[in-house]
A and B are shown apart, each in its own frame.
Chain A
Amino acid sequence: MLFIAIDKGSPYDLRSKPTTNSLEKLESFTFEDLHIVTGFGTKIVWLWINAHIKLYGGEQVADAVSSKVKDVDGLIKAVYDTVKVTP
């Protein structure tokens, strides 16, 4: 889900490129490296995540948190912070 969200916000066709087609490889990129245009691109990424996150056991990420995220690593952390781990 996170990979699809980033692919939707970036003009690169990440899904068909062997060098970038996994989230682990994307982890070192910033949104700028991926040409995710501030405002529109990030809006697409976060809208996709917030709409689908409940299906994966997480909670929607507040604007106050998502607006500070500038890279894929930060995005993964922000999303995983919402997942409640039950003992």
Chain B
Amino acid sequence: MIRLLMLFAAAVLTMLSAPAFSQVTLAADSEPTDKPWTKPATLSYTRGGDGKSTTTADAYLKYTVKRTTDASSPTAAATNDAWSIAGYVHRNNADDAKKDDRGVALGYARLLVLDSFGSAGPMSMEWGGKITFGKSLVLLDDKASPEEYNDKTKEREKLYVSGFFQPALSGTPTRKSDDPKHRSPATMDMYFTWNAGLYSDHTAGGAGKGNGRNNGAMAGLEWNIMPFGMVAANNAIGDYGVAPVFTLAAQIEKDISASGQRKKDTYKLYTAMLTLEFDTIVDTAGSIGRLKPSLNFSRSIGADLLGGRPYEGKTEISFGLSF
């Protein structure tokens, strides 16, 4: 017992002695792991010809504290702990796609890199948990006209394992010319991300209809292909470079149990996406400046319990500017 306590104290002291770094991020939504292209937070207002207006907002503001544990030997696995607190808003007041989620999320994640994969390609794994608490607009009856919604208290817990894998490339890396006008197009890049886990989703309050808890299991796979490489500047169109990214994603959430007035269900979501990330070629652009446009085309079909999405087909085109 004393030995166990000493081991625990040593582990706590080791963690406290490692430096911690913190960061604040703002994006459209949370991701289990970071992506090279993150959808920026958005706020939009549309006034239709019939005089009706639509507003949408997607923002996820997160504060993260990260701590890397010192490895005990040159070949020991590398681990990094990240604690986060976030506030989120997802709102859409269009009659056929109503959404109003707002709340806070607490998260913990441990990133792991092992020394045993050899030349298979870069690989990392992450496991963690997340607790979300807030209010959500829940669709009660999609047969009614207009559809019946109710504002309810939502609380969700999620335990997950996720991973990143980039297949190995053959050959050797080649250096690009320093002159951006004479750069050759880069070779194709691709990477996969996957996740699997368990969830618990509880709904309470509101008009009392549709309340209860669903417990279930989930899995997802995402394939990202960059046919002309990941460097926009290598594929010049005038003073801009562009790096297209094709994304195919599929996820499934399957309820294992249901209580209260809720029923067991299976939610599947399929997404196909094209992202065009433009980059100014600073060496030749001169006065263009550093304003970078990006275009995103996305078609998705299906439902997402944890994302609060009822079954629907959706086509989205978004234009972003960053600097």
B119-140 CB mask vs A (1 if < 8 Å, else 0) is 1011110000000000000000
- A40 contact from B66, B69, B191, B231, Cβ within 8 A: B191
B51 within 8 A of A: no
B18 within 8 A of A: yes
Chain A hits for B7, CB < 8 A? none
- A52 contact from B33, B74, B231, Cβ within 8 A: B74
Which one of B97-105, B168-176, B198-206 is at the A interface?
Answer: B168-176
By the criterion CB–CB under 8 Å, are A44 and B175 in contact? no
User: B22 to chain A: closest CB distance in Å?
Assistant: 8
- B113 contact from A10, A32, A48, Cβ within 8 A: A48
How many angstroms between the C-alpha atoms of A13 and B121 in the bound complex? 8
By the criterion CB–CB under 8 Å, are A28 and B175 in contact? yes
How many angstroms between the C-alpha atoms of A13 and B119 in the bound complex? 5
Enumerate B181-211 residues with CB–CB distance to A below 8 Å. Answer: 186-187, 189, 191
Query: Known contacts being A37-B230, A38-B36, A43-B111, is A60 close to B122, with CB within 8 Å?
Result: no
B32-61 CB mask vs A (1 if < 8 Å, else 0) is 011110000000000000000000000000
User: A35 to chain B: closest CB distance in Å?
Assistant: 6
Q: On chain A, which size bracket covers the interface?
A: 35 or more
B300 within 8 A of A: no
By the criterion CB–CB under 8 Å, are A9 and B122 in contact? yes
Chain A residues within 8 Å of B, Cβ to Cβ: 1, 4, 8-17, 19-20, 28-30, 32-41, 43-44, 47-48, 50-52, 54-55, 59-60, 62-64
Chain B residues within 8 Å of A, Cβ to Cβ: 18-19, 21, 23, 33-36, 66, 68-71, 73-74, 76-80, 111, 113, 115, 119, 121-124, 164, 166-169, 171-176, 186-187, 189, 191, 229-231, 234
